[in-house]
Structure 1
């Protein structure tokens, strides 16, 4: 049952505490997963989170498997599969659990593990991983990380349902079998913890096999090492020659176009020299007397090629810019001719524009036309200036100074564009004035919502409050224009600019607010689990008051207090509330185990040695009965389903094949 497996995450964590299991922290600490989706990168919107959760719910409902998803900014240099393995261990995940983790920033990497589980084969998981990698690669530009998660969930669902077998765990097992399975669960947890600790301590990521560690995809995987080494040497020589030639090219360009036009080329050249120096240093490490392993040779050669490729591309971009500039100079005469034709075209629009202004003045008050009233005269003056500029450009061409002629041509082009905007504004004024009232009212409503956000999200932010003052002033101007005492066109332009400004300063605050919303959702999820566990543990203690001591009661009371505190803090302090809720979940787990141990000790004292089950084994069996009752109450399944499908089934072999969370996986760069 899906609800049984999900609640099992909490119970398994508590069971690990019972046998003294605690994962050691590494350079990048693994997470202890408290929900199916952990978005450390803040990359999922509320809608995307709902989409992802729906896919995970479907997988859990359709199959015996569960997928946990982790979004990270990066893996901080740790191999993704190693990180996933550590996280699965610290979270107490089992053989029917999968983990998909990926980074949303460079270097882009991911891992999907384990490489197989039950009826889902390694080749099926590999196919799912390949589809996920395609979606992740697309998400680098689209930002749609949710699609990759949905692909993983649906892929695993399809693989599981297409190869599902008819075997399963009977819900009608005998009471004695239930006891033995419960004992096997606790014993195997201890063995898994010990084995994983030894395996983790002895693992060298650099020596891991192809399914033991995810690595960034090698773009030269099909190139023999000797050929890769040769290519890097040849590329370095070609780039060194290109840089030497580029120094001469820079001198020519500075003489032809001036230092202002070539400043960026000079910067690129300086950066290129620095990269070539580093590439030659790397080359020396391959040519010295110190032997290099084949992986070292390949890595160094690939780094040299990357440095050369980046620098060569930047030099090519600069060359293309110079070619375009030379092309402009060659065509400057044609450009001046075209501008002269544009002057004639625009001048023909000036008188009709004046006539339009006269018509508008008869329909609208003068204040409504303030922003366009002088446009026709200004356009006329600009056209006269453009004619003079074109004449100066032609004189420069005749003198052989094409660079100066290009400057005049660009000045004329800019002025003509301004003329076009001035005359367009007159032609559009009639239609705009006819609808300006409703548009201004809509703009006021929109920017008023921004002001409400500014007050709610950033009342102390100086920039936000400054933009808020501008917005309020723009609202006043707009309201005056609607009332007939101002220029509505100018008011609309001002309020539009003010809204763009306040939106820009509010963007990070709104993003933070959205992140807080996701955190509040996590708080609610965690508190829901805590509430169920607190009720079940409280009922357990209530019915066994004579046996349960103060430690379990203290932890239960503190868990309840922290849960209430988290609920009170989540609105204003969501991060602190989440920490409280997670601490409460930890404490209620401890309370469960301590209460169970107290009852076991009380039963043993009352029975005496061998009092139940014979040969001194009665205390263990009696403890497992009470433990099964407690776990059954927490999970809501009672005796009949408490261990029926969540912890491995098939004879109580937790994790299957001698382990909990499966080995191996697929991943790499994308």
Structure 2
């Protein structure tokens, strides 16, 4: 009993000793943790209230100098970017057209290569603008800004290259003044051009008597505009004869003006040839479509394409007399293609291939004629034509090139491109005529 009683104070004393030892150690550890926490607080910023609400800490931003304005996002108003892009597109296209006129005048191969490259760049940028304006593609503000900026940059670079590239006549200019022989040759060219424009006028009257107004519309104003260019050329030739200091410049400008007038006269002759070809193609297309309608079996699946083909034939026949062969080809194209495709599985492959090739040839003929006429119009009235007509013209050329590229090995794939080129070229000419204040 005594031993047990005596052991109590000894055990209590041991326990009190351990408590006395652990207490300061615990306090020292707590102090170290507090010090570490305070150190971390000093080195790292606390999360904001919004970040705490989200339950996470956002990535820290740069706390140094502000980003230079040139490297920040473009804050130019979209309307201002749009206006600049349109203006630069017109400037670039006009510069290329002027250079093309100079190349024709000078006949320089080196200048021609450089101009072809500039034409390709201008067309690519015009097509980019056409895609930007496509209402079927939705673009947000950032994407639209990016594309407008790209158009502006590409136009600026192309214009700078054109300005840095010497013109095709650079280094070949004679001293101020022109020789009497050069002036006499230019005046002789003007006299010959006057005769050609009279012939174009007569040819246009013949076309108007034979074909519908819409068939002649693409070249209707060519003789009148050609005479205006000829009048300008004669004025410049007179200036070259009396102003020795500006004689070379005036002679070159006169030659360019006469080149434009010659292209307009040639455009009437080209249209006459195209209409004759289209008339023959239309007669063949009618025979082929009539044969397809006659050969079509009385099956429910063929009822719709056959009925469309019949309606198309009726519409073309109703235009007998002063009709539009190109319009007739367009009318038969869709219906004829649909019926030919429906009949193809039950016909010999050779016949189907021949029919598809004929349809494509007709579409290429139509698109090529419309594109050539639209290009002549825009080139002649470039001082008045805005960007919408030019963008469609560039896209029309691209679509026709695609059709021609695909045609040798896939007529079915080429046909939609040819149709698209035709529609775009026609729309481009209508818009260009509207810009120039002419009736369409």
TM-score normalized with structure 2 length:
0.38
Question: Per chain length, whose mean CA-contact separation is higher, i.e. which structure has more relative contact order (CA < 8 Å, sep 6+)?
Answer: 1
Higher helix share: 2
For the pair shown, which has the larger CA radius of gyration, 1 or 2?
2
